[in-house]
Amino acid sequence: MVGPPKNLSDLRRIEAQVQITCTSCNATEIWELDALIAEVHNNGGNSDWHTAKYAVKCPRRCASPIISLLPIPFGKQRARSRAHRQALINLSLQILRTATDRSATQAVGTIEVRLALHVLRPFVKNRHLLVEFWRAATIEPRHPWASCHLPYRRIIGRLIERGISVESQNLP
């Protein structure tokens, strides 16, 4: 592809993402191509490359947006960040899973468990589930029925419910 595309759908050939920048407030977002096309059509715009920017809203919803669009070929930045996010989630779940296995016999309220719960907070989006796991991890005196298995299952269920893939080894 030489020069700017003629239409948004032309970017499918290069599996592109589009960086949306509002030059008024310097807000920037990276959009998947299909989501951008849907946004343009929902706002009553045209998918022509030069007119699509008028149908896109500012990421910060500023009063006077001046939008510029920049294609990102092969969407490497988004794919890389998605892979990092998946690795982070599954490493945190691995820490919680090993703590859950030990929780029936000993207190597992360690700094590693706290960090894993903190990492999962934006993905679970339910503070109560994480607090419930922490309480089960730190409860004294320890009893076999006071383990972290139920809170761990609820956290996994919430992640799956939100569409986040969980490695099979971390499933309860």
Backbone phi, then psi, for 113, in 5-degree steps? Answer: -65, -40
Give the separation between CA 49 and CA 124, rounded to whole angstroms: 37
Residue-wise pLDDT tens digits, 24-73: 898 998 888 888 898 899 988 888 988 998 999 888 888 888 999 988 88
3-state secondary structure of 135: helix
Instruction: Determine if the pTM surpasses 0.75.
Output: no
Cα distance between residue 46 and residue 68, in whole Å: 15
Helices (H) and strands (E) in the chain, counts: 6, 3
**Is residue 94 a contact partner of residue 113, using CB atoms and an 8 Å limit?**
no
